[in-house]
Amino acid sequence: MNPVVHIYPSKTEAASAFAQTLSEQIAAKEGHFHLALSGGSTPKLLFTLLAENYRNEIPWGKVHLWWGDERCVPPEHEESNYRMTKEFLLFSINIPQGNIHRVRGEDRPDREAIRYEEEIKAHLESKDGWPVFDMIMLGMGGDGHTASIFPDNLSLLDSPQTCAVAIHPDSGQKRVTLTGKVINQAKEVAFLVTGASKKEKVQAILGKEEGSKAYPAAHIQPVEGNLSWYLDEAAAP
Ligand code: 6PG
């Protein structure tokens, strides 16, 4: 199924539209809503909007928060995706602590990848042997990576594991990441990508241009779920 591409004049409008869609999907789901968050800087605007405008509109007690990837650093580290999420969102919403499933970045990466996979499988329903997220939110790096699946390690797209250890190609920083198959098992996958620096890769991927399969984000195609891109005009083809 082709992705649904939403383009907005500004990153604020793109993030606002994503927030509203997220609110509607959470409302529509009976029972728990398992949401995997992306990291980096783009989500900060989304989290701010959720904290300001959806504190009471979203029934956070039914939402379980997971991370699509996490840097292997302590939770108070400035590069921790959990710390960023706490500062921009968690401090502002009333969500049970038990619904927050952080990757323990302070622990040994290989052991944590196994532990996190076990925690995911203990909470989520499965289909064809894969845990099924209600929604996985993704960003995209300027090199076309997504989650922490980088262009130099496309094998993570076909890993038999739900979680794996990745290594940032420039910094050498270890990450724990969801892998390609579990991402593609999700009911909803939504990219939130903004800024001119992403335009070239977005254009190559959405245009299915020659060579675009070198970019991990080009391999995100849910098996049965829906794929959406939320873009600002700066990042749009
Ligand atoms: C991370 C992310 C990563 C991110 C992209 C885009 O931990 O860094 O999960 O996949 O989404 O690198 O990052 P920006 O939003 O900072 O451009």
Quick one: pLDDT band at residue 1, thresholds 50, 70, 90?
confident
Question: 0.95 cut: is pTM over it?
Answer: yes
Quick one: pLDDT band at residue 2, thresholds 50, 70, 90?
confident
| pLDDT tens-digit map of 87-129 | 999 999 999 999 999 999 999 999 999 999 999 999 999 999 9
d(CA 225, CA 234) in angstroms, rounded, equals 27
What is the position in ligand 1's atom list of the atom closest to the CA of 42? 15
Residues within a 6 A CB radius of ligand 1: 38-42, 68-69, 81, 139-141, 145-147
DSSP track, 74-122: -TTSTT-HHHHHHHHTGGGS---GGGB----TTS-HHHHHHHHHHHHHH
CB 224 within 8 A of CB 184: no
| pLDDT tens-digit map of 29-45 | 999 999 999 999 999 99
Inter-CA distances, 106 with 25, 41, 122, Å: 33, 21, 22
Q: Count H helices and E strands in the chain, helices first.
A: 6, 11
- The per-residue pLDDT for 175 is 98
